[in-house]
Chains A and B, each alone.
Chain A
Amino acid sequence: MKEDLKLYDYWAYEGRPKIRWPNGAKVAFWVAPNIEFYEINPPVNPLRKAWPRIHPDVLLNSSRDYGNRAGHWRMMEVMDKYNVRGSVSLNIALIDHHPELIKEAKDRKWEFFSHGIYNTRYSYEMNEQQERAILEDSIESVLNATGQKLAGYLAPALTHTEKTIDLLAEYEFLYTCDLFQDDTPQPLNVSKGKLISMPYSLEINDIIVYNSYLGTPRRYAQMIKDQFDQLLKEGDECGTVMCIPLHAYAVGHPHRIRGFEEALDYITSHSKEDVWITTGREIAEYYYKNYYDDCLKSIKKQN
């Protein structure tokens, strides 16, 4: 084990190249619904149990399944109402289990990025060859099912190895959502190719707010709005990125969906000159084209 994987260099928040998103927007805003499949009886990873109870953990497994059966549609309809496309953090096996949900997302021109094969298979203790198999499976499955060339990654259940970030660059991913060190994208140190970290706003992930901070739906709406206001203000100096990471099994409940709707209503009421409502891939592509080199220079100058 190492003290630091040195995946990125320190980069002061002040004095960065002045990023402007399309139309001069100050915040690039994206929504990332995690569409996940939790196996009822997965094999055991030595470092993490999939379920707190003996299998079948009916209570928790069914609570997760709620997202696909009931919550997803509700969440999707709110996004439709505000014309927000999703960037789907996809457990790849869901393509096989629930193709109906894939089709709905594809018809709406949502982006798909990989979130591992199942949310009950963790990367801990994988050797390089095994982790490559996950990435190759992801690339091939998404291409076959959607025609999209995979651009983004969020490790399944946020489980990583020392190799994960290097491998993503080698397989020509454009961005990773796995690193939370900043509110703007950052060029990463990878052994081959290029990769950027994409701000994923983990702190307003619905699971973090509902299950770690034990927040109410109204507090969730307020946190999202407050975060947006702050990033809009700071975006005047250097364009920021804000994500709402979601799980239909959390946000999609009848008692919670209105909080999310309130937040989307607020953000989308801003002008195009304030906020660029987009997807992870589009942010990454725009950043590579316009700012990657300048940002890399700025980072190098500081280190």
Chain B
Amino acid sequence: MTLEKEYLEYPKRMYGMDHNFFDWSILQKRKKIIWPNNARVAVWISYSLEFFPLNQPSEPFKAPGGMVTPYPDLRHFTTRDYGNRVGISRIWKCLSKHNLKASAAVNSSVAKRYPYIIKKINDRNDEIIGHGVDMGKIHYGGMDDKKESDLIKESLDTLRKISNQKVLGWWSPAKSESWNTCKHLASNGIEYTCDWCNDDMPYKMNSEAGNIWAMPHGSEIWDRTIIMDKKQTEEEFVEQVQDAFTTLYEESEQYGGRVLSIILTPYIMGLHYRIKYLDKLFEWINNREFAWNATGIEILNEIKKQ
């Protein structure tokens, strides 16, 4: 067997990226950003509220955290649902104790099923961001374009109606996008996506329906990655977030304001034996000088002004 001729042809071997989602740029070569009150590190906390249907389809794959055993997988269904009642309650309490605000990524089916959650988020003044319809509805390359457009519309219309928030941010289920997701997001009034993990600062993306922004929402410092995938301890999670803060703080002197993205999953970090470590982390962060706690849209609006 030998490879086809096209395997050694490189039609996109040219300056910049091999796609048009965004332009190539080096983080450290960009103009300096200055945060309000000369803060050095914007601390952006986000958490996700997700509904995993018991009959979760694998179209084209199951979102991480989804059903594992043969039907009915009540084990994973209920441990995930635990996040939407007990886990999130602990995280809210912890945030409130330290006077911190956050962005809440919510499946629209969670908003429909549990209106209490939306009321709580609104009472806290947390920002709601779109998170698809539910964890069984993945956006992926090659999916029917109309179907994707309908999913995004359904998600955003539902969230906007129930929450009365503008809903300007988006985080796709499983951080999975099709070739057209950004276009549909832009045409549905979305200003930023959390799906791209390639930067430490917001950057502008291109789409046929206008610009949106990619917010720094890395997969490597997520509680899911560190605790579930890498099997590290709560203390090791906290230590790594602290190290990230320190690094970003130090380099902000030369390069301007930075964003520390703390990404939490209520059924992971909101567990009884983990929450005290989150409490310690928030306390530590509140004791840092020049930290600015903000929501995604507040950070983006500040960047857009500069």
Partner-B contacts on A (CB < 8 A): 37, 39-41, 43, 45-46, 53-56, 58-59, 62-66, 68-70, 72-74, 93, 96-101, 117-118, 121, 125-127, 130, 133-134, 210, 214, 216-218, 253-258
Partner of A56, one of B12, B177, B260: B177
Whether, in the assembled complex, B284 has its beta carbon less than 8 Å from a beta carbon of chain A, the answer is: no
Of residues 247 to 278 in B, which have CB atoms within 8 Å of A's CB atoms? 247-248, 251, 260
Closest to B221 in A: A255
A96 to B12, CA, bound (A): 10
**A172 → chain B closest CB, angstroms:** 22
Q: A40-B18, A54-B60, A54-B141 are in contact. Are A118 and B10 (CB under 8 A)?
A: yes
- B230–A214 touching, CB < 8 Å: yes
Interface string of B148-179 (1 = CB under 8 A from A): 00000000000000000000000010111111
Partner of B26, one of A45, A69, A210: A69
A64 to B195, CA, bound (A): 13
A59 to B140, CA, bound (A): 11
Q: Give me 11 A-to-B residue pairs in the complex whose CB atoms sit less than 8 angstroms apart, sorted by A's number.
A: A43-B6, A46-B1, A56-B141, A58-B195, A62-B198, A63-B218, A96-B15, A99-B15, A100-B29, A117-B10, A254-B244
- B2–A69 touching, CB < 8 Å: no
Enumerate chain A residues within 8 angstroms of B6, measured Cβ to Cβ.
43
- B199–A66 touching, CB < 8 Å: yes
**B197 → chain A closest CB, angstroms:** 5
Partner-A contacts on B (CB < 8 A): 1-4, 6-8, 10, 12-19, 24-29, 60-61, 140-142, 172, 174-179, 195-200, 218-221, 229-232, 236, 239-241, 243-248, 251, 260
Enumerate chain A residues within 8 angstroms of B247, measured Cβ to Cβ.
74, 254-255, 257-258
Partner of A125, one of B2, B17, B178, B197: B2
Enumerate chain B residues within 8 angstroms of A126, measured Cβ to Cβ.
2-3, 7
- B200–A70 touching, CB < 8 Å: yes
Enumerate chain B residues within 8 angstroms of A54, measured Cβ to Cβ.
60, 140-142
Enumerate chain A residues within 8 angstroms of B246, measured Cβ to Cβ.
258
A37 to B197, CA, bound (A): 15
**A130 → chain B closest CB, angstroms:** 6
A118 to B241, CA, bound (A): 32
A121 to B196, CA, bound (A): 23
Q: A98-B24, A255-B244 are in contact. Are A62 and B179 (CB under 8 A)?
A: no
Q: A255-B241, A255-B243 are in contact. Are A66 and B197 (CB under 8 A)?
A: yes
- B18–A97 touching, CB < 8 Å: yes
Q: A46-B1, A53-B61, A59-B174 are in contact. Are A96 and B220 (CB under 8 A)?
A: no
Enumerate chain B residues within 8 angstroms of A253, measured Cβ to Cβ.
218, 220-221, 244
